[in-house]
A = this chain, B = another copy of it.
Amino acid sequence: MEKSRIEKLAYIGGGSSYTPEFVEGFIQHEGEVEVDEIALHDINEDRLQVVGGMVERMLRYAELDTSVSLTTTRPEAIEGADFIVSAIRVGGLDARIRDEKIPLKYDVVGQETTGPGGTLKAWRTIPVALEIARDLEKYAPDAWYLNFTNPSGIITEAIFKNSDVKVVGLCNNPINVQMGLAIFFEVMPDEVFLEWVGLNHVNWIQRIFVRGVDKTEELIDRIEEMPYLNEFDPSLVKALGVIPTGYLRYYYNHTKMLEDLKGVEKTRGEVVREVERDLMEKYADPNQLVKPPELSLRGGALYSEAAMRLILSLMFDRRDVQILVTRNNGSIPDLPDDASVEVPCVVGAHGVTPLHMGPLPDTIRALCQQAKAWESWTVEAGVTGDRGAALMAMMTNPLVPSFEIAKALLDDMLPANRDFLWQFYPQTV
């Protein structure tokens, strides 16, 4: 990529409440890169108009020249784009709420990224993600496909296993953890260097360096003082010898999470639905000229920052280190070469090259391999619609205790998602 400006950026799922968060990134980095056009695509015309209007006002208020185009025809959005950002939710929040509620019947946490909920979300998403990839191949073969759609590790793997487009997966977790650790150690974020190993949402900090000094032992000893990570029992963290990140509480603390979730009145999906409703109202207000502060409740903190860093390094060949979702290629030798991992990478105009993180520590290897097996079986079943593969996906998920429960979950969740699972329920015309 030898350009100094982005001629066109396509945002698939442009009617998402996150879109203003993403656009905010270009406003904050306006001195670094210019964008001629942002093309928002969504299948929901109403949301597209509301969010598109909000984005338009934000850009105008910030006095940027970027034009905004809205379309419900995907190839139109993608054609000629330099970057395609995907942030879609197939089936919407209704599907998410089902993903959360059904598993609870079987004493299983659904969890939209690491549990059976993630499995179903992936299966709904994969057919669309591959359609987007086909569109890229046809209408924007040199573009970067930046996948923000969860479960990001699975979707990204489905894409690079079934297409030659240039894809990279992004999550805002690493940047948030880095920020939290910088505050904890009272240094600037860039003074923290993390050996981050594992998969998207299934990862650990193998070693942490603060201004070049290894602080791993100190962080383990003081884990109770660290917000967010202090959910983990100190004896657990000490036994691991590495620092687990937040989503791992669904695995390590499944019993407690299950109790908690059974106790709450509303699932996370139901809470989010309300937050979204409020956000959409704000977006629809013609007097709303900047990103509303309530957006941060939605969970996408620093997403715009992470996205901008990635885009700028790809464009301007910065070759700095960022934690991204990419093809393993042996950087973690305990995992298959063709599987997605989330590790520190050097990002430049040439693409994304993982740093060699070496064999996983003995304390985390088996869980990471199991989660990877779940992810890769989820890809396999999500692409082929094979029932045996679907059973393997459900059984290998760390939250599912047995064949019996796996089978029951499949029998319940597949039909409930029938409308979105073309690969499992081929349409006859």
A residues near B (Cβ < 8 Å) are 1-2, 190-191, 193, 195, 209, 211-214, 233, 235-236, 238-241, 251-256, 314, 317, 319-321, 329-331, 333, 344, 346, 348-351, 353-356, 358-359, 362-363, 365-367, 369-370, 372-374, 376-377, 387-389, 391-392, 395-396, 401-405, 407
Contacts and interface: CB of A to CB of B under 8 A. Distances in A.
Given A366-B369, A404-B256, A355 B358 contact: no
The 5 closest A-B pairs by CB, nearest first: A212-B349, A366-B373, A239-B388, A209-B350, A331-B356
A356 B370 CA distance: 23
B193 A238 contact: no
Contacts of A404: 253-256
A252 B400 CA distance: 10
B2 A213 contact: yes
Contacts of A235: 387-388, 391, 407
Copies in the complex: 4
A254 B402 contact: yes
A402 B253 contact: yes
Given A321-B346, A358-B330, A212 B1 contact: yes
B403 A350 contact: no
B359 A356 contact: no
A81 B15 CA distance: 59
A355 B346 contact: yes
Contact of A211 (B236, B255, B349): B349
